[in-house]
Amino acid sequence: MIIKIDMKSETALYEQLYNNVVWGIATGRLKQGEKMPTVRQLGIDLGINLHTVNKAYSLLKQKGYLSAHRNKGAVVNKKEFFIADKDFREDIKSSLKPLVCECYARGMSTDEMCSILKEIAENIKVEAEDKH
Amino acid sequence: MIIKIDMKSETALYEQLYNNVVWGIATGRLKQGEKMPTVRQLGIDLGINLHTVNKAYSLLKQKGYLSAHRNKGAVVNKKEFFIADKDFREDIKSSLKPLVCECYARGMSTDEMCSILKEIAENIKVEAEDKH
DNA sequence: ATATTTGTTATATTTGTTATATAACAAATA
DNA sequence: TATTTGTTATATAACAAATATAACAAATAT
C-alpha cells in the first residue's frame, strides 16, 4: 500500500501515519497477515525519521492493529485482535461527543449528522472497491 | 453556567474550556446574548492563567460562538453567527473520517455507528432538560 | 477629566510533545 | 558469525501549552 504524508498538515506525522494504516485496513488495502514496511524503510520512503514511524507502529500495536517481532518486521493482525469491544466504544464516544456538541449547537438534527457519517462510510466503501 | 476542567486530562486546558462552552450552548445552558465571565475572573475561578482562558475565547470567537468587546466582556452570539454551513460541514467530515475508519476497520456497521451517534445526541438532549 | 474595567498584545520562562540524529541492544534469520 | 529487524537510550532542536508580568486600548463609571 502506498502511504503518503503531508508535511504541511497540522496533524502530527506519527498520527497521519497511524490514520493511514487504519484507513488501509478499513479499505482492505492492508489484509491480515500482510507485512508492513520496516520502520527504517518506511522512514526512508517518506523522508522522515525511523522513530516517528516507530511511534506510529507502537500505537498501532497498542490498539491491536499490528504485531511486531524482531527481525520479522510488523504484520497486520487478524481481525480478532481489533474488534469493536466495550473499551473501544467508550473511546469512540469520548472522541465523538465534542463533535456532536458542535453539530447540535449549530442546529443540526441527528438525522443530518447520521447522513454525514453515512456519506463518509460510503466514501470508504468506494475507496475499498477502487483498490484494483 | 458552572465550567469545570480536569487538570489530569490529556486534553489541553484551552480545548477543554472550548468544548465546555460549546456543550453549554448545545444544552441551552448558555443562551444568546448571555454574558460570559471575564477572562480574568474565569482564570481565577478555575485556577488557571487568563491567557489560557483567552486562547479558548479567541477560538470560540473565531468559530462564531462568542463576540467580545473591550470593557464589555464576551457574550454568546446569536445562532445566526454559528450555523452549520458548508465550511463547518467540511471541517466536521475531516475530523470524523479517522473515527469512522477505526469503526469500519473493526467491523462495525454504519447503523451501529449511527446508533452510537444517536446515543450521544440523546444524552445531550437529556443534559439540556436537566438544566433546571 | 480621571480611574477602573475589560479585552488585547507583547515578552519571557517553564514544561511537555514532536521530530530528528546517533548509537547500542536483543532476537531471529541467513 | 554477520545481517536484519524491532527496541531502547540519549541528546538536540523546534514547537506548543501554560504561566507570569507588564503594558496598551477602548468603554464605562465616578
Q: Mind telling me how many Å the CA of B89 is from chain A's nearest CA?
A: 8
Q: Rounded to 5 degrees, what angle do the CA atoms B54, B57, B60 make?
A: 155
Q: For residues B50 and B69, what is the distance between their CA atoms, to the nearest angstrom?
A: 16
Question: Contacts of residue A6 in chain B, CB cutoff 8 Å?
Answer: none
Q: Does B101 touch chain A (CB under 8 A)?
A: yes
Q: What percent of chain B stands above pLDDT 90?
A: 92
Dump strand ranges (E) for A1-121.
66-69, 73-76
| Distance, first Cα to last Cα, chain B | 11
Residue type, A72: K
Per-residue confidence at A117, pLDDT binned at 50, 70, 90? very high
Nearest beta carbon to residue B22 from set A92, A105, A107: A105
Residue A132, pLDDT above cutoff 80: no
| Cβ neighbours of B29 (radius 10 Å) | 18
Per the prediction, chain B carries an average pLDDT of: 96
Q: Does A108 touch chain B (CB under 8 A)?
A: yes
Q: Mind telling me how many Å the CA of B51 is from chain A's nearest CA?
A: 22
Nucleotides of C under 7 A from a protein CB: 4-11, 17-22, 26-29
Q: For residues B112 and B131, what is the distance between their CA atoms, to the nearest angstrom?
A: 29
pLDDT in tens, A4-27: 999 999 999 999 999 999 999 999
Question: Contacts of residue B9 in chain A, CB cutoff 8 Å?
Answer: none
Cβ within 8 Å, pair B22-A124: no
Total-model pTM? 0.93
Per-residue confidence at B102, pLDDT binned at 50, 70, 90? very high
pLDDT in tens, A65-108: 999 999 899 999 999 999 999 999 999 999 999 999 999 999 99
Stated as kind and residue range, the H or E segment containing B70 is: none
CA-based nearest residue to A21, from A80, A70, A82, A103: A82
CA-based nearest residue to B85, from B64, B114, B56, B106: B64
Q: For residues A50 and A47, what is the distance between their CA atoms, to the nearest angstrom?
A: 9
Q: Which three cell numbers stand for residue B114?
A: 449511527
The pLDDT assigned to B11 comes to 96
Q: Does B44 touch chain A (CB under 8 A)?
A: no
Q: Which three cell numbers stand for residue B104?
A: 469500519
Q: What is the DSSP letter of B80?
A: G
The pLDDT assigned to B130 comes to 82
pLDDT in tens, B37-91: 999 999 999 999 999 999 999 999 999 999 999 888 999 999 999 999 999 999 9
The pLDDT assigned to A130 comes to 83
Stated as kind and residue range, the H or E segment containing A55 is: helix A50-62
Facing residues of A78 across strands?
Answer: none
Contact by Cβ (8 Å): B116, A105 = no
